[in-house]
Amino acid sequence: MANKKGIILMNLGSPDSTKVKDVRRYLNEFLMDERVIDISYLGRLLLVKGIIVPFRAPKSAHAYSTIWWKEGSPLIELTKQTAVEYMKEIHAKEKYNFKLTTIKPYYNNPDYINAMAENMKPFLEKEYDHILFSYHGVPGRHIKKSDITGCHCLQKENCCDVASPAHDFCYRHQCFTTTKLVTEKLNIPANKFSISFQSRLGKGWLEPFTDIRLEQMPKEGIKKLLIICPAFVSDCLETLEEIAERGKETFIEAGGEEYTMIPCLNVHPLWVSAISKWLKEYADGNKEMILA
């Protein structure tokens, strides 16, 4: 067989439908991953199947129903539009032998930063008081576990600002860096933006929490808010329902006046061009690439 190049464009995933049984199956598979909930298998089993899924599945099913497209899951459809087609099924059938290479994180890649900035520009033309960069949260212990020095992340004051080898693997530092680069490119003053973390599941997750900040901001004089979720490249439940719908309700009920969510990159031309460029640069051998 001739050598061939394959590309896998990965995203988090989505239930097959908005039915409770499909959402339950998806949550079980997702949350039972030891890299998502990093406790013992027995503890994870009891927590996920005994507490989280029974209570969360019906609520999540309803939430999905509010953002579901007629074609299916927005996340899956947008990923398909970006990737053109799925390679996973084909690969599973053929059982190819291959070398696997993962493209390094692109949080500070100029192509990504440029796409982010251009995606935001039209929304900056209107009057606004503040921009909130809302990133998906993770438990603080995940940040500490990824610290290759074992003594830097969340253990030193201003750890994300003090140079360290730990930054190569620190999600929190990378969120701050993306925000810094984008706001510098757009000449947004430091007092006009801030960072928060959403979608927490339990205690000990990164702060400040997005939902809490949305309650506080109107009381601080922020009445016209722009919010963007850079951790997601495709709109999904966490952006379309948690932020665009529930987030707006929280902000307006707290006294806010205008609330605008800037869409994810989705199929923005500069984002698609960036992915194409990266793949051409990396796929120069008989390898499969993952762009996560």
User: Which pLDDT value is given to residue 125?
Assistant: 96
Q: Are residues 222 and 271 in the same domain?
A: yes
Name the amino acid, one letter, at 140: G
* Cβ 156 vs Cβ 90: under 8 Å: no
| CATH code where residue 241 lies | 3.40.50.1400
Total residues found in the chain within this entry? 292
pLDDT classification of 42: cutoffs 50, 70, 90: very high
Determine the number of helices (DSSP H) and then strands (DSSP E) in the chain.
Answer: 12, 7
Range of the domain at 45: 19-67
Residue recorded with tokens 């966490």: 238
pTM across the whole model: 0.81
- Residue 100 confidence (pLDDT) above 80: no
pLDDT classification of 150: cutoffs 50, 70, 90: very high
Angle, CA 106 vertex, CA 179 and CA 259 arms, to 5°: 35
The dihedral sign for the CA sequence 28, 141, 198, 231: negative
Q: Are residues 61 and 96 in the same domain?
A: no
Q: What average pLDDT does this structure show over 110-115?
A: 97
DSSP output for 19-50: SHHHHHHHHHHHHTSTTTS-S-HHHHHHHIII
Whether residue 218 has a cis bond before it, omega within 30° of 0: no
DSSP H stretches of helix in the chain? 20-31, 41-47, 53-67, 74-83, 88-94, 110-124, 140-145, 171-185, 210-216, 237-240, 248-253, 269-282
Does the residue 8 lie in any domain? no
Q: Are residues 42 and 96 in the same domain?
A: no
- Residue 186 confidence (pLDDT) above 60: yes
The count of structural domains within the chain is: 2
pLDDT classification of 207: cutoffs 50, 70, 90: very high
Percentage of residues in the chain with pLDDT exceeding 70?
87
pLDDT in tens, 6-23: 677 777 788 999 999 998
Q: Are residues 175 and 126 in the same domain?
A: yes
Name the amino acid, one letter, at 265: L
Q: Which residue has the higher pLDDT, 286 or 265?
A: 265
pLDDT classification of 287: cutoffs 50, 70, 90: very low
Cα–Cα nearest to 267, from 83, 73, 9: 83
Rounded mean pLDDT of the chain?
A: 88
Q: Are residues 139 and 282 in the same domain?
A: yes
Q: Which residue has the higher pLDDT, 113 or 93?
A: 113
Q: Are residues 204 and 287 in the same domain?
A: yes
- Residue 194 confidence (pLDDT) above 60: yes
Does the residue 106 lie in any domain? yes
Q: Are residues 100 and 43 in the same domain?
A: no
User: Which pLDDT value is given to residue 290?
Assistant: 52
Q: Are residues 24 and 169 in the same domain?
A: no
Q: Which residue has the higher pLDDT, 89 or 197?
A: 197
User: Which pLDDT value is given to residue 278?
Assistant: 84
pLDDT in tens, 49-66: 999 999 989 999 998 898
Q: Are residues 238 and 120 in the same domain?
A: yes
- Residue 286 confidence (pLDDT) above 50: no
State how far the Cα of 292 lies from the Cα of 281, in Å rounded to an integer: 16
Percentage of residues in the chain with pLDDT exceeding 90?
65
- Residue 3 confidence (pLDDT) above 90: no
DSSP H stretches of helix in 49-168? 53-67, 74-83, 88-94, 110-124, 140-145
Q: Are residues 56 and 174 in the same domain?
A: no
User: Which pLDDT value is given to residue 254?
Assistant: 98
User: Which pLDDT value is given to residue 17?
Assistant: 93
* Cβ 206 vs Cβ 197: under 8 Å: yes
Q: Are residues 126 and 152 in the same domain?
A: yes
* Cβ 192 vs Cβ 225: under 8 Å: no
pLDDT in tens, 210-241: 999 999 999 999 999 999 999 999 999 999 99
Q: Are residues 135 and 243 in the same domain?
A: yes
